[in-house]
Structures are given as C-alpha cells and as structure tokens.
Amino acid sequence: MKRVMVPGVFDVFHIGHLNYLKRASEAGDYLVVAVQEDRAVEKAKGTAMVTPLPERIALIEEIRFVDEVVSYIEVFQGELLASLRIDVFACGEEYGHDPMFPDQVRTIEFCKAHRIEVFRIPRTNHVSSTKIRSRLKAFWASRAAKEEDAPAGVTVLGSFQGDQAKIIAETRREADLILSVIKDAKDRSLLDMGCGDGRLLAELAPFFRKSTGVEYIDELLDLARKRTQNFSDKIELLSSDVTEFLAPRTFDVFLLSGIVVCLDDVQLEQFLNNIDRMMDESSRCLVRNSVGLEKRINIVNQFSPKLGDTYTGYYRTVAEIESKFLRHGWHCKDRFQLYQHCPDTAIWWFEFSR
C-alpha cells in the first residue's frame, strides 16, 4: 500500500482545498492529511485563524477519500514523514522552491535522501468539470428523447415557452442573419461547433460549399443526421467533444451557437486555442450565446422547474465574451441582442473577424 501525506493549513475550506486533496489522493492508496495547528499559523502569518484546528480537522475527516488526519507544528516535515512511514509527499508546485522558507527546502531534501517520492500538485483555480460534463451529457441525451414534442429543435431549451412556430421562425431568422454576413457562402467552408440536433446546420448547408458539424451527444448527432439527410453530400457530421476537436485543416466560418454557455472558463480557453489552430486570417467566427445581462451568472447542476431537469450553464456578460475572443486575436465587428428569454439573461449575437 502506497501511503501519501499532504500538508496544509486549510483555513476557510474552499474548492481549491478540495481539488488539492483530491489530487493528492490520486498519488497513492492511503491519504494522510497533515493540518498545521493554530499557534504556528498565527505566529507565521501574524493574524488569527478563522477556523480553529478542531473544526478544520473535523471538516477534512468527513471527505471520503481522506483516510487519516493529523496535526503538526513545525514546517519541517521530516520526522512526521518518517513516523508515519510515508511513501509519497504531496505538495503544491511552488513548495520548497523559495529560499525564504528553508524548512520547506529541508523537507524536500529529506524526501530525496530517504527515497520518498515528491508528488507536486499544480494550483487549480476552477471547479473540476468531469462530473459536470457527465451530467451535461445525460441532460442533452434526455432532451434528444423529446424530439416528438419539439420537432423545431430540442436544443433551444425554454425559449418562447416551447412555441414550435416561433422557434422555427427564429431559426430561419438566425440562418438569414448568418447568410447576410457570409455573402459568398457558396465558396466557404463552415464548421458548426456543438451543432446539436442540426437546427441551424439544416438551414445553412445548402448554401455553403462544405459544412462540418461537431457534436459529442450521440443522440443529438442522430437527430442532426435525420435533419440534414437531403444534403449528406455537402455535410460531414463528427462525434467529438468540442474542447478536444482539432481538424488538420482550416475553416472559413466558425459557428458557435449555444455552445459557449456550456463551457467553463478552462474548457472555453482550450476551445478557443483549438479554433486558433483551425483558422486563417480571413476566417470569421459567428457566436449566438446566452449572456448575463447585469452580471455573470454561474449555474451548476441546478434544477429548473421549467425544464423539469437539472442543467449547467455559464452566463457570461457581453463584455466578458468580447474580452475572451479579443485575447485570441479576434475583433468584434458587430453585436446585438436577438431576444430576451429570462429576466436576467438574453440571447446575443456576435460577429468576430481577425
């Protein structure tokens, strides 16, 4: 059994602490968490603890992947590591690199001298998305099953109170808007990232030279194939997570309709990095996205009475969306609100160019 020890203060326990301990637990079979006691921390930092040691220990003991919790005073961990027969010392990526903290340097040297593996944990500033993505996949699969009740499109969520005629009209309006921007569509290639059930792709494919749709929900991709079967010679439909999709060619037009709201900040950055590698200086990026009107709204696995299900979405502000694309070299040529579907969110349109 590989025994792991990870030290820390863990005052005002937060998601960064949880991610830190979870990563430490992945380094072996048995996790010991060492919590520094109040007096030592207060002496070092010059401020009183918010959460006293007994409460910090009690919180950490309740975490399912933590096997044992001990407390310590001295920063140097050598004697504690030896006493607990530790095989792996888990620590932050910056631990032991700063000569201003010599006891940390001594601890790393002790590990090297006693053949204790040092497992470094990178700093994380986001919520781990594995479980969220799994739930999101289940959510959209359940939406795809409702095709008979929503033939105009199962990916438009609660817009227009489910009025199919209004959804059809809005789909055509958005398709006309795209074609008015891309006037030479017959000479252009289109990449629809997160094409869903093919709601827009079916309207646009006849006008573009070649269209590619990417979707990782198989049930939605099956619906997209049905919608676009009359144009199968001009459409390529691929099963892939958009954050991982990277084609060995460039595209003229990128369509991001409703996908940005589904990605957390880390996923969005990876997504935009991949787009950077599939574009050229004449490429355009067209974004239809739900935004937070007054401030950013994060919804994680929240139950919606309207949808009768839980869902996740990151409703960034207009300014935040623009800044994300600006950092990747895109220039916002146009933006405006398409319609407002909730009191504090609305659907906006963005046109980006290089």
5-18 tens-digit pLDDT = 999 999 888 888 99
145-197 tens-digit pLDDT = 777 777 777 777 667 777 888 889 999 999 999 999 999 999 999 999 999 99
Tokens of 285: 């990026």
Alpha carbon distance, N-terminus to C-terminus of the chain: 55
Q: Which pLDDT score is estimated for 7?
A: 95
Spatial separation of the C-alpha atoms in residues 84 and 31, rounded to whole Å = 11
Report the b/e string of 87-101 with b at 16+ CB within 10 A.
bbbbbbeebbeeeee
Architecture label for domain 130-353: 3-Layer(aba) Sandwich (3.40)
Which residue has tokens 């933590």? 66
On whether the 3-121 domain is CATH 3.40.50.970, my answer is no
For residue 130, give the 3-state DSSP assignment. helix
Segment 220-235 shows an average pLDDT of 92
Q: Which pLDDT score is estimated for 132?
A: 62
Position 124: which residue type? Answer: T
Q: Which pLDDT score is estimated for 129?
A: 52
Q: Where are the domains of the chain?
A: 3-121, 130-353
Segment 69-80 shows an average pLDDT of 92
Residues 6 or more apart from 39 whose CB is under 8 A from it?
Answer: 73
pLDDT at 133 over 70: no
Q: Which range has highest mean pLDDT (231-235, 251-255, 303-307)?
A: 251-255
Tokens of 144: 């795809």
